[in-house]
Structures are given as structure tokens and as C-alpha cells.
Structure 1
Amino acid sequence: MGTLGAWIDYLNSMEGKEDDSFFKPYKEGKWSKAAIIAHMMFWDRFFYEERLPHMLKGEDLVGITERQVEEMNKKAEEYAHSGVSRQQIIAGALKYRQMIINVLQGKDLTKTFTIKERKISLQEYVEGEVEHDQHHLKQLKAK
């Protein structure tokens, strides 16, 4: 099982490597690397700003709808192709992931909260995030 830091390691490994394919779909009909990284940044920002403060207090959280998920993904893809630079996308992704890690350090990850009436611990939520990372890292590393 990886950690939230594996995403930072990957982003840092991209530093200084020029990549002509960054803004092109990694496979026909798929997102570009830029869109995948922006997607991760948007979800990290959502986790950091909208979820984490409530999770740390053990509060009940509302679930998000499929429509909200699609909307967030669409906004991330649009952002990735809005003219921002490769460096801006990577820097934003690094910033939000590092902020999450900083907040979680030293926290009790057994703390529970509920999402849609399902009790879940911070540890379980983070493990789900790491699985999401692994899914996209596989895509990003595909040749």
C-alpha cells in the first residue's frame, strides 16, 4: 500500500523532464497527463477545503452526487487545457497534496466521521485516496 506522499514523489520526478505529450491524451479517447494531474489537484483541494475540517471534528458529511463528480472532473479538464503551463498544473497539485499531508501529520487517523450515514475513519478515507492515486499513477506511467 502506498502513501499520500507517493503522488508528490511522482510529481517531483516530472520536474525538468520535458514532455511533448503532457497536453495530449495518453491514449485515444482518454485524458491528457495535464488533465489527470489537474483532476487530482481539484479533488485534493476539495478534500482539503471541503472535507478535511469536518472530518477532523468527527462531523457528518453529505455525499456528493454523480453529477457533482462529473462537474468537478469537467472543470479540472477545462482548467488543464485553459492555457495554464505544465509547471502551474504540477505546482498546484503539489501544493494541495502537501497541505493535506501537513494537516494529517500527528492526527489520530482512527477518528471517525460519517458520509451518507456510513461511518468511516480518516485512515480508511486516506487509503481510498491512495487507491485513487495508484489508479491514476498507472495511467500516467503508461507508455
Structure 2
Amino acid sequence: MAAKTNMQLIQEYEALIPYIESLAKLEPGVWVTPLEPGKWSLKDLLCHLMLWDKYFYEAAFVSIREGRPLTSQHLNFNEFNANAVRYAETVSVQEAISQFILYRRKITSYAASLSDEALEQTYKDGDGKAFSIRKHLRGFLPHDKHHKKQIERFLKTLQAVKADS
């Protein structure tokens, strides 16, 4: 479902917070188990989401708020994601959850403080491409949904394994 208003869009973007919070009760071993063979763990995935939020918050949102040029640019996804996995090794599950919530809330509270015109205003990013907060939020919702589906499949698989044992 495409968000109709900017406020609905912001609320949809923020909706991943309670979902991630609900995962805090999972056993520690679950957090470091690959979602599928050869794939990331839940903690890796959470750090991946958090670091994208942190990157765009610092390189775009803060720049917009302070009236500075945006430094966000197209990054090498494989390199960024590999860094997220390395980062996941340095933090606890609780730290990863807290950091995800912190950056997701920074983005949504800043976006919610803006007028519709400001949310839709276009800026040039570090690559000279058009960037707007609304487009960014809309563009990342499918990314969130993709990863949430991965998590849900993983948790269903775990439940099935538990039921069999």
C-alpha cells in the first residue's frame, strides 16, 4: 500500500520500531543464527538497517536541517553491507536494537516536524542527484518490508524446528 499523506508515510517508516522492539525477547542464540544458510544473522540485518538510517540521517537529514550541502551519495552496497556485518560483531543485541531505534526516531521525528513542502523539497545529493526526504522514506519502505519478510520467514522456520523437536 502506497502511503497517501506525508504523515502516513512517516508512520509507516516508524512502524518498524515496535516490530524490532518485539524481537528483543528472542533468545541470544537466535540473534546470531543465519536467517538462511550463507545469509546474515538477525543481528547483522538489524545493524544493516541501522547503519543505512544513520548514514542518511547524518549525510542528508542533518545537512538539510543545517542548510549545508548534502554529502549522501551512491555507495558501494557490498562494501557498506560488509561493514554492517563487521559492526554487528562489536555490539550487543541490546545496543543494536537501541541504535536502530535511535536513528529511526531521529529520522521520523525530524520528518514529522517539517511541512509537506519541506518534506517534498528537492536537494542535490553528493552525486548531484535529486534527493527529497519524502522520496527517501518512500524508497526505503520496500527495503524494510523485504527484510521484515526475511525475519518472519526465519522465525517461522525456528518455530517449525522447535515443534518438531
TM range (shorter): 0.7 to 0.9
Q: 69, 74, 79: which one pairs with 1:71?
A: 79
**Match of residue 103 from structure 1:** 110
User: Could you tell me whether the CA contact under 8 Å between 2:123 and 2:131 is conserved in 1?
Assistant: yes
Name the SS for the 2:110 alignment partner. Answer: helix
Detail structure 1 runs of 4+ shifted over 3 Å in the superposition.
55-62, 115-118
Point out the structure with the larger helix share: 2
User: Does residue 1:33 correspond to 2:42, yes or no?
Assistant: yes
Larger radius of gyration: 2
Could you tell me which residue of structure 2 aligns to residue 135 of structure 1? 146
1:58 deviates by 8.2
Higher strand share: 1
Q: Which of 1 and 2 has higher RCO (CA within 8 Å, sep 6+)?
A: 1
**Matching of residue 126 in structure 1 with residue 133 in structure 2:** no
TM-score, structure 1 as length reference = 0.84
Identity %, equivalent residues: 28
Q: Alpha carbons of 1:32 and 1:89: their partners in 2 closer, same or farther (altered >3 Å)?
A: same
Q: Is contact 2:59-2:70 (8 Å) kept?
A: no
Which sections of structure 1, spanning at least 5 residues, go unmatched?
none
Q: How many residues align?
A: 140
Superposed CA RMSD in Å reads 2.1
TM-score by length of 2: 0.74
Unmatched runs of 5 consecutive residues or more in structure 2: 3-8, 155-165
